[in-house]
Amino acid sequence: MARADGLRTIMSKAEKAAEKREEKEIIERASPPGRIVYHAIVKEGEGELERPSSALFWSGLAAGLSMGFSMITEALLQAYLPDAPWRPLISKLGYSVGFIIAILGRQQLFTENTLTPILPLLKNKTLSIFGNVMRLWLVVLIANLLGAFGLSWALAHTNVFDPNVKAAFFEIGNHAMSHGALNALWRGVFAGWLIALIVWMMPFAEVARFWVIIMVTYIIGLGGLTHIVAGSVTTFTLAAGGQRGWGDVFVNFIFPVLAGNIIGGVMLVAALNHAQVAAGKSGGDI
C-alpha cells in the first residue's frame, strides 16, 4: 500500500513537471502582447535619449551615407536589366539595401526616431523630455542629410560608376521629384507609417528581422512612397548634378516629405500604439 502511494506521488510530481514544461513552451511560443513590445521600445528610447549629441551625430552621419546604397543598388539593377514592364519588380529590391545596412548596423535613422524616443515622451509628458527629443531629432536629421549630401556630391562629380548607372541615378531622382509637394507629403505619411512599424516589430522579430526590413522597404520603394533620408540622396544627386535647383528640391521634396514622415511615424504608430497600451492598463503606470 505504501509502495502504491509512493508511486502515485512520483507520478503526480512527474505530471506537474510536465505541465510546467508545457506552460513554459506555450509562453515561449506565444506572440508577446502589445504591452511587452511597448515597454521594450520605451526602454530602447530612453537609452537613445541618454546618448550624447556627438554619438548621435556620428551614427546619424553613417546612416545618411549608408542610405545611399539604396539608390546605388537600385540604379545598378535598373541599368543592367532590360527595359521591360517587370523591371521595377526586381530593381526596387535594391531600395532595401540601405535600410538593411542602417537598421541592422544600429545606425541612427531619423524616421526610426519618430517612434523610439516618442514613446518615453508620451509616457512622461515633461518639458525636459520634450527638449531632449527635439535635440535628438535635430542632431540625427542634420547628420542624416549631411551624409546624404556628401555621398550625392561624390556620385554626381566623380566617375565611380559607369555613365549608364549615373543616368539611372538621375532617372530615379527625377521620378521622386515628379509627384509635387502635396503628393510627396501624402506619400511621406505612408512611408513614415511603414518605417515606424518596422521599429515596432523589430524587438521580437528575432531571426526574421532581415526579412521584415526587406518586405516593408520593398513596398515603400515599389509604391514610390517618399522617405526623407533615402529620398534626399536621390534628390540631392539631382541638384549636385545640375539637374534641379536646390530650392526646388527642398520646397517640393525635402520639407513636405519630412512633414509626412513625422506625421506617419508619430501619429499613426507612436500615438496609436501608446493609446492602445494606455487604454488596456489596469491602473498605475503603463
201: burial class by Cβ within 10 Å (0-12, 13-18, 19+)?
middle
Give pTM, 2 decimals.
0.85
Coil, helix or strand at residue 86? coil
Confidence of residue 284 (pLDDT cuts 50, 70, 90): very low
**Residue 115: closest CA among 17, 222, 40, 11:** 40
> CA 76 to CA 98: how far, in whole Å?
14
With cut-offs at 50, 70 and 90, classify the pLDDT of residue 27.
very low
pLDDT for 273: 76
pLDDT at 23: 54
Indicate the SS3 state at residue 88: helix
Between CA 178 and CA 176 the distance in angstroms is 6
Structure-block grid coordinates of residue 200? 515596432
Q: Is the pLDDT of residue 25 over 70?
A: no
pLDDT at residue 28 in the model: 47
At 26, the pLDDT band (50, 70, 90 cuts) reads very low
- What is the per-residue pLDDT for 272? 80
What's the pLDDT score for residue 210?
93
Contact assessment for residue 286 and residue 123, using Cβ atoms and an 8 Å cutoff: yes
pLDDT at 30 over 50: no
For residues 229 and 148, the answer to whether their CB atoms sit within 8 Å is yes
Q: What is the pLDDT of residues 150-182, one digit of tens each?
A: 999 999 999 999 999 999 999 999 999 999 999
pLDDT of 176 reads: 94
Host H or E run for residue 134: helix 127-157
The candidate with the shortest Cα–Cα distance to 215, out of 244, 242, 194, 200, is: 194
Q: Are 220 and 95 in contact (CB under 8 A)?
A: yes
| DSSP 8-state class, residue 269 | I
Q: What's the CA gap between 226 and 16, in Å, rounded?
A: 55
Q: What is the mean pLDDT of the chain?
A: 88
- Is 191's pLDDT higher than 70? yes
- Which tens digits make up the pLDDT trace of 125-157? 899 999 999 999 999 999 999 999 999 999 999
82-115 residue pLDDT tens = 999 999 999 999 999 999 999 999 999 999 888 8
Contacts of 76 (CB under 8 A, 6+ apart): 94, 161, 165, 168
How close are the terminal C-alpha atoms of the chain, in Å? 55
